[in-house]
Each structure stands twice: as C-alpha cells, then as structure tokens.
Amino acid sequence: MGDLKRRTKPWGDLKGPTEQADALASLLRGWLDTAQLRIDDVAAQLTPEHFSSGRTPGRSTIGERLAGVRLDDEFVQAIADICSGDDAALRERMLTEARALASRKDPTRPAKTSGGKPDPAALANELVAVQRRSLALQDKLMRAWERAMELDRERSRSHQMVMVLLTMVDKLQRDITTLHAERGRLREREHRPQQLEEVRQKLARSEEQRRSAEAELDRAREERSKADRLAEEAAEQIRTLKDELERLRQGTGQPDNSPPLTVPSPSASEGEDFEAAADDIDDALAKASRHLDNGARRLDQLACELHQDDPLDNSVAIAETGEADDEPDDEALTLRILTQVRAMKEHGSSFISLALEAPTDLFVGVMRVLLLSDDDEKDWDLAHELLDVAGTEGTPPHLCELLAELRSHQNGNFYAYSLLSAIAASRSPGALVAIVAALRESEQDADAYQLLTAVARVGPACFISPTVLQLSDTDATWLIEALIAERSEMDIVTVREMLAFGGHQHYVALLSVPQVRQRALDMPPVQALPVFADA
C-alpha cells in the first residue's frame, strides 16, 4: 500500500485485562494505521447498523475499546468494515485474523515476580505509580463531572430556546394568516388605500420576522443536538474514568463500593427574560440570537475541554510510562483539585452539587485531598463542610453509598461517624426513618443502628418521640435505650411526656426505668485518626 504514515501521535498504552485482549486491540490499531484513520474518523463512520443495540459509541468508548477494554465481536467487525471499505475479501481476511486471535487460550496477565517472590522495591514503585495515576484520574474525573453538569444545563437551555422559538414562529404564522385575510377584505370590500398599505407593511414585516425566527429555530435545533451529543460523550467519559479507577483498585486489592453512574438531572432552567418581553418581536429575536451565540461559544469550549481530557484518545500520547512525561506532577495535580473545590465553594451551588450529586468515590477522593492539604487551613473545614451538606440534604440512596465508600478506606469510620452525626442533628423524623429504611434495604445494618444511636445522642429532643413512633418496634427500642444511655434526665423526661401524651405506654415504660445496656454496635472512638491512610 505504499509508504503510509499515521496522521496522529502514537497510541496510548494497552489496558486490556488479558494479553489476548491487548493483542486484539493492537491488531485493530494496526488496521486503523494502515487505513490512516483516527478516532474522530471512526466515530464519524460508525453507524447504528453496526451494533445490535442500535447505538453508536462515543469517542471515549471507542478509545477505550481500542485500548483493549471491554472489546467485543461487534466492535471488531465494525472496525473491519470501516477499514476494508468496499473490499469484501480484505474484510474477510481481517476477520479471519481477529478470530484466530480470539480463539487462542485466554490467560490472565501473570504477576511480575522474581523467583516466585515479590520484589519489595518493585512493588513500592508500582504502588507509587498507581497512586499517582489515581490522583491524575481523580483530577480528570472532577473536571469531567463539572463538565457533565454544565452540559446538562446547556442542553436544558437549548431545549427551552427551541420551545420559545417554536412558539414565536407559530405566533408569527397566525399573525400572517390574519393579515392576509385583512388584506383580502380591504381589497375586495373596502376602498381604504391608507389602511391597505399599513396592512401590507405589517404583513411584509411579519413575514421577514418569521423567516428570521425560522432561521434562529434551525440554529437552536442544531445547538440542542450538539448539546445532546456532547452530554452523552461526557457521560461515557465519566464511565471510562470510573472504570479505570476501578481497575486500579482491583490491582491493589481495594474494594469497590462506588455507586452506579448518575449524571445529575438539570435543575429548573434559569428563566430567560426575552420570552416574557416578546411583545416586540424584533427585540425578542435579537435576544434569542445573542443567547444562541453565547450558547454556541460555551458548547465549543466544553467540546474542546471534553476532547482534551479524553483519557484514551489515540490523538494524544498518554504519558504513563515515565518516558517523555508531559503530565503534571502530584503537587500540581493536588493544587489543581484544591483550586477547583475552592472555586466551587465560592460559587455555592456547585459545591452543594459536589456534596449531593457527585459519585461517592470522587466525593471521598476530593475529601482526602482537602484533608491532606498544607496550603490553606480552610481546606480541612471544606472537607467537613462537604460531609455536613451531604448529611443535611443528601438522599437516602446517596447517603448509603457514601457511608459504604467511607468505610472502605482506612480511618474512614471517623468520617462515617461525622456524617451520621450530621444526619442525626439536622434531619426531620420522616427523613431519618427513610434513611434507616434505606440502610436496612442495602444491608448496612450496623450503620442503621449507629444512626439511631446518633439520633439519641445529638438529635433534637422534640424530634425523638415522632421518630420513635415511625420506626419498627426493634429500632424504636434501640433508640430509646440509646436515649437513656446518652441524654440528660431533662431530655428523657421531655420525650417520655410526649409519648405519654400520645398514649404510647409501652415506650413510656421503657423510659421510666433507666437501663444500663452495652450495645454491640456503638460509635467509633473520637480519637480515631483524622486523615485517610494511603491505600
């Protein structure tokens, strides 16, 4: 085929779970090199017909497959189809070669040992590399999550703009129909030249406005489609980053308690004032045009950031081997994460979204960076403020996942204790009961009991009685016994009187005779180490 040269920089490292997967990915990369195709070309040529799901993968997923991750037969056939063009014989030769690789025995990658014994120095170096890669991935995941939030907002805004312009076009069309009828009436039945000329001018202006509105509507639809596509790519990028973090965990023996991917739903879109002030159509169209211009610039910027952060794109060499490493060092990565979180705190709503909607492994990773920061003493407060916001406003499923993630880390029990205390001190009786039920359903019984103990310890006394009445008998009894052990006599009397007023004599009797009971599941000691240990 002549002297062909790649049109892109060298490929990134192979990341398949087996040598066979890496070999197959290397084969596909060779096909693309020969065909002089890059990931953007592949993304443009893949069609829904290539996949049984009817959905084409985004750039991030394509890059992931070409690194050997989750490589399947459908994708192999699709790449062969693209690289062979109309040459059926070439396509068959490609697939025969791929099938030969796939039919080989699939060994797992052996551990790198010397004489059957691990080399401590090599293991230490590998651990440092994994920790550095994990920090870099946390930084990318942070940016990807913020970008997904922004794209969701842009998608909501562009959808609103389409609806506004559709309404405007419909109104103009109705005005034009009315003016046509008025012009015909004046022509046929009345001889009022001045009024007829006024109607003609109004009609001409309305038709011009309609053409402008239809042109802006086409722009808005294109912008909405672009926002939809970028939002899907952003979600896939987050999945890819989370998968790579999971592989790092598995490689170091860390448990995976991360929740399923959740991309937050857009909040109510900020109201656009041009719709309310649309009596003057020209002004409304001018505002719509400015809105679309601003939205297009934001989408272009987000698209650029999205593709720059693509973790497995073959257009950028991924520096993981230590050779020609252009990646920032640990200190720079840490500073970048700290700067992002501080900026989110100043913004307010972004910080709250981080606490309530970010994946819990990202939440805990950010906490760890904040707690280890020597740059600003306020960073420690930010870590605990994240926990407070989550405890005060988090949904039951999010809190279950966050508690599990915290407990998967050494010294994480200390922060689980802080989170449980924040929940107990701030939530209403109904919310507390819902969280206890969610913990039971997710088989986190120890956390359920510890939350009840925290309610007894720090919950408002006036909330304890209604909480008791909504719990199961077992949980209510636990809460009352914890109340006896943890609270002052005045608080106990207050709760007892509230229960007696409602006629709940069984619980009144429990509170009337103080009991001393050692609970098997109590809170961790406050002297627990205050910083996550290195995993």
pLDDT value at residue 79: 92
In a domain, 505, yes or no: yes
pLDDT value at residue 396: 92
The CATH code of the domain that includes 176 is 1.20.1260
Q: Which of 61, 83, 102 is the last residue of a domain?
A: 102
Q: Which residue has the higher pLDDT, 145 or 444?
A: 444
Q: Which residue has the higher pLDDT, 400 or 103?
A: 400
Query: What is the CA angle 83-89-91, rounded to 5?
Result: 30
With CA atoms as reference, report the closest residue to 140 among 62, 63, 245: 245
Q: Which residue type does 234 have?
A: A
Model pLDDT for residues 218-268, shown as the tens digit of each residue: 888 888 888 888 888 778 777 777 777 666 655 544 444 443 444 444 444
Q: How far is CA 345 from CA 126, 379, 383, 415, 430, in A?
A: 35, 11, 11, 20, 29
pLDDT value at residue 197: 78
Bridge-partner residues for 18, per DSSP? 108
- How would residue 119 be classed by pLDDT, with cut points 50, 70 and 90? very low
In a domain, 416, yes or no: yes
Q: Is 389 exposed, middle or buried (0-12, 13-18, 19+ CB in 10 A)?
A: middle
Report whether 363 contacts 419 (CB < 8 A): no
Q: Which residue has the higher pLDDT, 518 or 488?
A: 488
Domain of 24 in residue numbering reads as 19-102
Looking up tokens 């309404």, which residue turns up?
167
Residues 366 and 302 in one domain: no
pLDDT value at residue 212: 84
pTM: 0.44
Residue 256 DSSP one-character state:
-
Residues 186 and 262 in one domain: yes
Span 8-19, average pLDDT: 72
pLDDT value at residue 410: 63
Percent of the chain with pLDDT over 70: 72
Q: Which residue has the higher pLDDT, 135 or 14?
A: 14
* 33 has a pLDDT exceeding 50: yes
Q: Which of 293, 308, 323 is the last residue of a domain?
A: 308
Model pLDDT for residues 420-430, shown as the tens digit of each residue: 989 998 999 99
In a domain, 210, yes or no: yes
Residues 73 and 173 in one domain: no
Looking up tokens 């946390």, which residue turns up?
138
* 317 has a pLDDT exceeding 70: no
In a domain, 109, yes or no: no
Residues 55 and 137 in one domain: no
In a domain, 419, yes or no: yes
The CA distance from 94 to 324, in Å, is 34
Q: Which residue type does 118 have?
A: P
Long-range interactions of 33-39: CB distance < 8 A, separation 24+:
33/4, 33/6, 34/1, 34/4, 34/83, 35/82, 35/83, 36/4, 36/5, 36/6, 36/7, 37/82, 37/83, 38/7, 38/8, 38/314, 38/315, 39/63, 39/66, 39/313, 39/314, 39/315
Q: What is the mean pLDDT of the chain?
A: 73
Residues 264 and 343 in one domain: no
Residues 187 and 286 in one domain: yes
In a domain, 145, yes or no: yes
Domain count, the chain: 3
pLDDT value at residue 364: 76
Residues 353 and 416 in one domain: yes
In a domain, 178, yes or no: yes
Residues 79 and 160 in one domain: no
Residues 134 and 56 in one domain: no
Span 10-28, average pLDDT: 81
Looking up tokens 């239809």, which residue turns up?
214
The CA distance from 231 to 311, in Å, is 16
Model pLDDT for residues 56-100, shown as the tens digit of each residue: 887 777 887 888 877 888 899 999 999 988 888 888 888 888 888
Model pLDDT for residues 157-195, shown as the tens digit of each residue: 888 888 888 888 888 888 888 888 777 777 776 666 777
In a domain, 486, yes or no: yes
Token pair for 485: 């052990």
Model pLDDT for residues 382-398, shown as the tens digit of each residue: 778 888 888 888 899 98
pLDDT value at residue 309: 62
Alpha helices in 52-192 (DSSP H): 59-65, 73-84, 88-102, 120-188
Residues 218 and 154 in one domain: yes
- How would residue 133 be classed by pLDDT, with cut points 50, 70 and 90? low
Model pLDDT for residues 515-535, shown as the tens digit of each residue: 444 443 444 444 444 455 443
Residues 165 and 230 in one domain: yes
Residues 150 and 254 in one domain: yes
